[in-house]
Amino acid sequence: MKNKIVLTGGCGFIGSHTCVELQNAGYDVVIFDNLSNSEASVIDGIEKITGIRPAFYQIDCTDKGAVYQAFQQEGPIAGVVHFAASKAVGESVHKPILYYRNNLTSLMNMLEAAQDFHLKGFVFSSSCTVYGEPDSVPVDETAPIKPATSPYGNTKQIAEEIIQDYEHTGVDFNAIILRYFNPIGAHPSAEIGELPRGVPQNLLPYVCQAAMGIRKELSVFGDDYNTADGSCVRDYIDVIDLAKAHVCALNRMVEGKSAEKVEYYNLGTGHGVSVFELVNTFMEATGVKVPYKVVGRREGDIERIYGNPSHANEVLGWKAAVPLKETLANAWRWQEKLREKGVM
């Protein structure tokens, strides 16, 4: 019998790609999603790619009753991958209570469910945002955690602490915390991808929309940083690569191979890419021009961050593999698909 995994936020950008990779790896996937920042049609895309339609519950993970009812209905579950969370940094500054309530209540409900329903493993999606402006790059998992610069970032830090504290009580399941660097891209089939609502805040969705003429031009936030070309440096990780890391993490826990109750892994490529490099590589990969202008720095931006993924390479047996050009071409194909469908 296949192991069953609950994917909260499974209709979202990273969640949907992870669903595909889990199904490809032989897991049976059950999605919990309140559709607050996603569409149910994503499930059609997943089915087109894998030939399997995941079970779907439109529930909010802050509703413990609904979560427990769904667990009861589904029978034995091996693990949870908990993505469901609000993720807009700017919005979190204006609506901190919403962010703390959504992101932390849902986490606590899922942790208690993991214990009460005898799961083996719990994967939590954290972020390199916990490292703040790092003292040195590449950052490894032992780098100090810096004070968060937004309520969103703080929810990730607090969530990590909650998981750690709960595991210390001697619960039966293991946890793996994955710290993502900058996830980008789309499935090569163009059946699933990122669906930004309103004006995109992240770089690549904006680049795609500027290339398509939906936005007049990309604003490059600062060219006077202390980097090779003056623009900020990030570690852009392909979403399929990222999704595969979740499969490795679950395999480790389901097979009882965890060395610690809570393990932490950086998920990045190990390479820093500047804003200008990303834009130029996008133009090379797609042959499409990206209109841009340089503007002032964005408040709160970090000059340079990229991760050291050796721990994930060595212990999880995971490595980022998709070349940046291919990732950017996939994102563009998805953007073209959205235009064909008249979505944007």
| Catalytic residue status for 152 | yes
Residue 216 or residue 298: which is nearer to ligand UD1 going by CB? 298
In the bound complex, which residue of the shown chain has the CB atom lying closest to ligand UD1? Answer: 232
For residue 150, the minimal CB distance to ligand UD1 (Å) is 6
Q: Does 224 participate in binding ligand UD1 (rule CB under 6 A)?
A: no
Please report whether residue 298 would count as binding ligand UD1 according to CB under 6 A.
yes
Note whether 129 binds ligand UD1 by CB under 6 A: yes
Distances 220 to 187, 193, 204, 243 between C-alpha atoms, Å: 26, 23, 12, 28
List the one residue from 130, 192, 220, 322 that touches ligand UD1 (CB under 6 A).
220
For ligand UD1, the closer CB: 285 or 290: 290
Kindly state the smallest distance separating residue 210's Cβ from ligand UD1, in Å: 9
What is the pattern of x (binds ligand UD1, CB under 6 A) and - over residues 230-249? --x-x---------------
Among 46, 176, 195, 203, binds ligand UD1 (CB under 6 A): 203
Alpha-carbon gap, residue 10 to 317, rounded angstroms: 24
Whose Cβ is closer to ligand UD1: residue 15's or residue 153's?
153
Site string for ligand UD1, 252-291 (x = CB under 6 A): -----------------------x----------------
Q: Which residues pair with 139 in a beta bridge?
A: 307
Among 76, 300, 317, 323, binds ligand UD1 (CB under 6 A): 300
Least distance between ligand UD1 and beta carbon 73 (Å): 33
Give the one residue of 32, 206, 306, 332 binding ligand UD1; rule: CB under 6 A.
206
Residue pair 141/265 in contact by the 8 Å Cβ criterion: yes
Amino acid, res. 308: N
Q: Give the N- to C-terminal CA distance of the chain in Å, as an integer.
A: 41
Nearer to ligand UD1, 203 or 250 (CB): 203
Please pick, among 57, 99, 152, 206, the residue that the annotation labels catalytic: 152
Q: Give whichever of 55 and 158 is closer to ligand UD1, judged by the CB atom.
A: 158
SS (HEC) of the chain: CCCEEEEECCCCHHHHHHHHHHHHCCCEEEEECCCCCCCCCHHHHHHHHHCCCCEEECCCCCCHHHHHHHHHHHCCCCEEEECCCCCCHHHHHHCHHHHHHHHHHHHHHHHHHHHHCCCCEEEEEEEHHHHCCCCCCCECCCCCCCCCCCHHHHHHHHHHHHHHHHHHCCCCCEEEEEEECEEECCCCCCCCCCCCCCCCCCHHHHHHHHHHCCCCCEEEECCCCCCCCCCCEECEEEHHHHHHHHHHHHHHHHCCCCCCCEEEEEECCCCCEEHHHHHHHHHHHHCCCCCEEEECCCCCCCCECCECCHHHHHHHCCCCCCCHHHHHHHHHHHHHHHHHCCCC
Q: Which of 24, 50, 189, 219 lies at the binding interface for ligand UD1 (CB under 6 A)? A: 219
Scan residues 306-335 and list those touching ligand UD1 (CB under 6 A).
none
- Restricting to residues 171-190, name those near ligand UD1 by CB under 6 A: 182-183
Q: Among the candidate windows 2-10, 188-196, 265-273, 298-306, which touches ligand UD1 by CB under 6 A?
A: 298-306
User: Could you give the residue numbers annotated as active site?
Assistant: 152
Rule CB under 6 A: which residues touch ligand UD1? 89, 127, 129, 153, 182-183, 201-203, 206, 218-221, 232, 234, 275, 298, 300-301
